[in-house]
Chain A
Amino acid sequence: MSQVETTRLIAFEDVGVGDELSPIVRGPMSTAHLMRWSAAIENWHRIHYDWRFATGHDGLPDVLVNGSWKQHLLVQLMREWLGPSGWLWQLSYQFRGMDVAGSTLTAWGRVADKRRFDEFGVVVCEVGIRNGERDTTIGSARGALPYREGPAVPYPFPQGLSW
């Protein structure tokens, strides 16, 4: 895992509908990764680190990658693509399937729409997390980007923006 390039700047005009976002690949996710996440957020639910409990008690195929961890993967996908001049405004997602220890997860995205506002533009992306042939998480995101000759995207980002 390397540090992101903090100087990469993109403008609203640089983006086209259908553009693919650079995917993020994490995995194979070991039980050590899952334990580290559970410890970091102090979540002691055993299905994420106790194989005997997960399989024997809950009847799961293995310990599960936390949904709370997977949502951060989508956040990273969008923020790395938007770069330091952009702002991840909205993210929605649904978990559609389980991801077990040993899975390699790929966060992907595709530009689906664009809309201009007065001071900045907003890009809509379809996003998801793929595990093998399955999308185990699907969702969408909206990110704000500055115009090439426009002002910076306001921070804090304005509330009440109507779509």
Chain B
Amino acid sequence: MGYVTDAVRAQLHRRTPRQTSAEAIGADSLRRFVQATMEPNPIHWDEQAAAASRYGHVVAPPLYPVHAFRRPAGTPDPLDRAFTDPEWDGSGNRDDTGLPPLPLGLDRHLNGGSEVEFYALAAVGDTVSVTHEYVDAVDKVGKSGEFVLVKREAVYTNQDGQVLLTVRRTGIHR
């Protein structure tokens, strides 16, 4: 029987509308990001080093586009919730992909890993867009019972439509 019904399969391969970062990649946000990752490669801040590289200009580390979607100025503050809910974990709306939840009828969700492919690096001044899609859902049976492996894919592009990277995340639903 399984959990992957026709209703689940109907949600596969339906790409979400493109979401675009509210701001272009700025030198200051890139600097803070690079310092926080302890990234040692000067092509991420030094114009001279970057000019001598294949990129020709300062570029962001490969995974930066995943983090490019910040809360725009003037929008509701998610931390307002902490004023009234001291037990709130602060994680906010972590699943902001725009994908509908799959009707699996399963409550537990575990991170089953990620597969990333890199094609180009974003540059200072670029805006990043992303689309999401469920690409697979498969019933499985393991030692601890039945579960479903769900794969979803995010495709990140720049303002010219150049694909920067793709990220496939596997979710384990029990």
**Which residues on A are within 8 Å of B, measured CB to CB?**
1-4, 6, 26, 33, 36-37, 39-47, 50, 53, 57-58, 67-69, 71-73, 75-76, 79-80, 84, 87-95, 139, 152, 155-159
Contact = CB atoms under 8 A, between A and B. Distances in A.
A84 B42 CA distance: 11
Interface string B66-110: 110011000000110000000101111010000000000000000
A76 B37 contact: yes
Contacts of A33: 36
Contact of A90 (B40, B91, B117): B117
A37 B37 contact: yes
B149 interface: no
Contacts of A42: 70-71
A95 B113 CA distance: 7
Interface residues of B, number: 44
B120 A155 contact: yes
Nearest to A35: B36
Nearest to A36: B36
B154 to A, nearest CB: 14
B85 to A, nearest CB: 12
B41 A3 contact: yes
Contacts, number: 119
B120 A76 contact: no
Interface in B158-174: 162-163
Contacts of B89: 45-47, 53, 57-58
Contacts of B117: 89-90
Contacts of A156: 119-120, 162-163
Nearest to B116: A91
A6 B115 contact: no
Contact of B120 (A45, A47, A93, A157): A157
B54 interface: yes
Main secondary structure of the interface of A (DSSP, over half): mixed
The 7 closest A-B pairs by CB, nearest first: A94-B113, A40-B36, A156-B120, A44-B90, A92-B115, A45-B91, A46-B90
Given A3-B40, A4-B40, A92-B116, 14 more contacts: A1-B38, A3-B41, A40-B67, A72-B39, A72-B61, A73-B37, A76-B38, A84-B53, A90-B117, A92-B115, A93-B113, A95-B111, A139-B113, A156-B120
Contacts of B54: 84, 152, 155
Nearest to A49: B90
B114 A71 contact: yes
A95 B172 CA distance: 13
B162 A44 contact: no
Nearest to B62: A75
Contact of A159 (B35, B41, B52, B163): B163
A22 to B, nearest CB: 12
